[in-house]
Structure 1
Amino acid sequence: MKKLSARRRHPLAALVVLLLALAVTGGLYAAFAPADKAQAEDTAQSLAIEEGKKLYAVGCGSCHGTGGQGTSDGPILVGVGSAAVDFQVGTGRMPAQQPGAQAPKKPKVYTQAEIDQLAAYIASLGAGPIAPTEEQYDPKGANIAKGGDLFRTNCAQCHNFTGKGGALTGGKYAPELDDVTPKHIYEAMQTGPQNMPSYPDGIMPEQDKRDIIAYLQTVGGEKAESPGGFELGGLGPVSEGLFGWVFGLGVMIAAACWVAARTAKAKKS
């Protein structure tokens, strides 16, 4: 006991205890802490980029160049970001079937996992808009009235005020938006596909984009109800004016003829 007490009073005893405590703490942390989580994520991202590069070489490189530098048949992809890839490939516009004024929407060729791999590879070529999360494009609780104002101000010139689409110059067109998913609407606003201008968050914040999505879901789609009554195809003042002109003027002419006939009959009697 005397020897043990003497060792406890030794000047280096506290240092030895501290070193042992640090060793035990480090060992426990190495054993139980998720130290490999970041490394695993980096490995998964690297694998996604590698697989995306293979898919790109087969399906995209002939038009956009082997490194996304672009060719006479396809634009440069450096800096377009993962959002543009998810939109273009997720809506079936890419790979394009044939050259034309505009790439139409069609059934997608790749699975969502393959689209994510392609997006990872394109994103690795240069920084660009990132594909949004569900929280960013979810319209739940959004301001529909404000979304309508924003849509009519920024989008109705091409897409019509209820998203029914319309013709543009040179054989191009603004597509109908009834069956477009919230994610793809958000990505289109982010990236500005084809003739559409882009609206990054610095110009149009996330909340404004959600408001627009909520408005489109209210006025478009099979289950949508027109708050203003019979929508006459939702084509705007042209169809409404034609309806008013044909039927309204027709009723007025019929009424005038009836009044004239009654007046003539009264005079004869």
Structure 2
Amino acid sequence: MRLLNRTAGRLSRHRRGPLAGLVVLLLGLLISGSLYTALAPAQADTQASETEQVAHGKKLFLASCAFCHGKNGEGIPTVRDGYQIGPPLAGVGAAAVDFQVGTGRMPLTQPGQQAPRKPVVFSQEEIDALAAYVASLGPGPAIPDESDYSIEGLSEEERQEAISRGGQIFLTNCTACHNFNGAGGAMPRGGYAPNLHDVEGKHIYEALLTGPQQMPNFSNGNLTPEEKRDVIAYLGSIRETPEYAGFTLGGLGPVSEGLFAWVVGIGGLVVGSVWIASHTTRSKKSKVNA
């Protein structure tokens, strides 16, 4: 017991000594320096990589996009007030770039009411660089992760519930343009709602988030990320469902079905009636002549 008291007394005297504060300071600097050495290089490498990606994206942008969107993404107005060759890109976010360039809509071949889907021009690495550069112009929606639009991690019961919820959301908000099974349709002023049957889930999520062309954007305040995921799950279930009803007529619903009924159905009845009437008349004439 006396030994412990003596040891404690010595430690107490050393703590109050003039060198104790210096030792503690040196020990703190050593620990903080070691942590910085361990962590700082990784952060520096990440920042350098992001800077290089943005610089690469800017070069691609100046070569392929600046003609319409301006050298700094400010947009280029036309002679007519309120019209622009290319809109400003500050604030559209990386998601808009990934959608437009990843589906081949951009670069635009020629001006028109709507940018059609085309073969993709850039590689995924170049698309990521362009998206990083545009994202650096102003804050905007980021490119979603696979977990945002996929239901792979859900159980079968949860998947069916997600598909059911997505169907209700789609029928409420989307069928006016894309019709009930996502086959697309005509829009005012020369536009159209595209077919969604072969569109990737990531691009559907980005379209909901950014609102390309005449489509309204559904922010997370309008549709939560889970609801967007459910809509994508519903569209995926449509693609996987076999058609049992014979001719689908493009899946366009009452428009194509009504046109088919008028042209083929009623048209066939008219032709059949004319044919019967003409042959009946000829048979009566032949009897009279006999």
How much does 1:22 deviate?
Answer: 2.8
Aligned-pair CA distance for 1:21: 3.2
Unmatched runs of 5 consecutive residues or more in structure 1: 251-269
Q: After TM superposition, list the pairs within 5 Å mapping 1:131-146 onto structure 2.
A: 131-140=143-152, 141=154, 142=159, 143-146=162-165
Structure 1 60/242 Cα, relative in aligned 2: closer, same or farther at 3 Å?
A: closer
Shift of residue 125, structure 1, vs aligned partner: 1.1
> Deviation of residue 29 (structure 1)?
2.5
1:77 — aligned with what?
Answer: 89
Aligned sequence identity (%)? 50
Match of 1:114 among 126, 143, 160: 126
Q: Secondary structure at the match of 2:39?
A: coil
Report the TM-score, using the length of structure 2 for normalisation.
Answer: 0.75
The match for 1:98 is 110
CA-to-aligned-CA distance 1:190-244 (integer Å, 9 cap, x gap): 0000000000101110000000000001102xxx114886572422234556778
Distance in structure 2 (CA, Å) of the matches to 1:41 and 1:158:
43
What is the CA–CA distance in structure 2 between the aligned matches of 1:64 and 1:239, rounded to whole Å? 39
- Matches of 1:12 and 1:48 in 2, distance apart? 53
For 1:86 and 1:100, the matched residues in 2 are separated by 21
Map of 2:184 onto structure 1 = 165
1:56 counterpart residue number: 61
- Are 1:184 and 2:203 matched, yes or no? yes
Cα deviation, 1:21-41, whole Å, max 9, x if unaligned, reads 33442353244x222222222
CA separation of 1:40 and 1:160: change in aligned 2, threshold 3 A: same
Amino acid corresponding to residue 50 of structure 1 in structure 2 = A
1:260 alignment counterpart? none
Unaligned runs of 5+ in 2: 1-6, 79-84, 270-290
- In the other structure, the counterpart of 1:47 is 52
Deviation at 1:78, TM superposition (A): 1.5
Distance 1:38 1:209 in 2: 33
What is the letter of the counterpart of residue 25 of structure 1?
Answer: I
Q: Does 1:234 align with 2:251?
A: yes
Deviation at 1:16, TM superposition (A): 4.9
Alignment of 1:140-155 (within 5 A): 140=152, 141=154, 142=159, 143-155=162-174
2:39 aligns to what? 34
- Matched to 1:28, the amino acid is S
1:80-131 per-residue CA deviation (whole Å, 9 max, x = no partner) reads 1111000000000000111112111011111111111111111111111111
**1-structure distance, mates of 2:224, 2:21:** 57
C-alpha spacing 1:34/1:216, structure 2 compared with 1 (3 Å): same
Paired residue for 2:99? Answer: 87
CA contact (8 A) 2:166 2:231 kept: yes
Figure out how many residues of one structure are paired with residues of the other and give that number.
242
Write the mapping of 1:254-269 to structure 2, written as runs, cut at 5 A.
Answer: none
Q: Tell me, what secondary structure is at the counterpart of 2:86?
A: coil
Alignment of 1:192-231 (within 5 A): 192-220=211-239, 224-226=240-242
- 1:46: Cα distance to partner? 1.4
Give, in whole Å, the separation in 2 of the partners of 1:209 and 1:34: 37
Query: Cα offset for 1:134?
Result: 1.3
> Cα distance, 1:139 vs. partner?
3.0
